[in-house]
Structure formats: structure tokens, C-alpha cells
Amino acid sequence: MGGDSDWRGVVEMLRRVATPKGRAFVGAYSIEGLRLHERALRAGVPLMRVVIDAQWLKRPSSRQQSLLTDLKSADCKVTVVPDDVMAGLVNGRSL
């Protein structure tokens, strides 16, 4: 899990892929929530990067811990962002 400049670049990419033009330019899209990530892994979809907030890491549920293990097995990079940054990315929704 990377440093400050690493998460800033990832957040910028997430903001880009929030629009159709950005998705076409980057060649990627974003998904949100545990269930979609679990389904993507089961379907064999390659996940480039997963973004979680610092709070998520402090006390992960067994389901969250299982997902982290599965992401590691799939060689998916996990980037931790500050809680307030994540809240801005998901518009305050609880995922």
C-alpha cells in the first residue's frame, strides 16, 4: 500500500473514469461496494486497483478481511485513502 502521492494519483484516475469520456480515455471503469468486488473476483474479472479508506482497515469485518485476502491472491493492488477523501469519492454513501 502506497504513500501520499500514490493515492492522489489513484483518486485522480477514479475521478476521470466517472465520466463516459474519461472511461474511454483511460480504458477502465470503477465499481463500488463489497458485493460487486466479490462478484468480479468470482467471475475472473481482473481488478487493477481497489481503494479503501483508513477506517476500513482498522476493524475489518470477516467479509472485508476475506475480500482483502482474495484481492491479494488476485494480485490486485489495494490503496488506502484518508476517510474524508473516500467520503468525497462515494458522495457520503455507505458501501
Map out the domains of the chain with their CATH numbers.
Answer: 4-86 (3.30.1330)
Q: How do residues 29-64 score in pLDDT, each as one tens digit?
A: 999 999 999 999 999 999 999 999 988 889 899 999
What does residue 28 show for φ and ψ, rounded to 5 degrees? Answer: -150, 170
pLDDT at residue 57 in the model: 86
- Over 80: is that where the pLDDT of 92 sits? no
- Over 90: is that where the pLDDT of 17 sits? yes
pLDDT at residue 90 in the model: 81
DSSP output for 78-91: EEEE-HHHHHHHTT
- Over 60: is that where the pLDDT of 95 sits? no
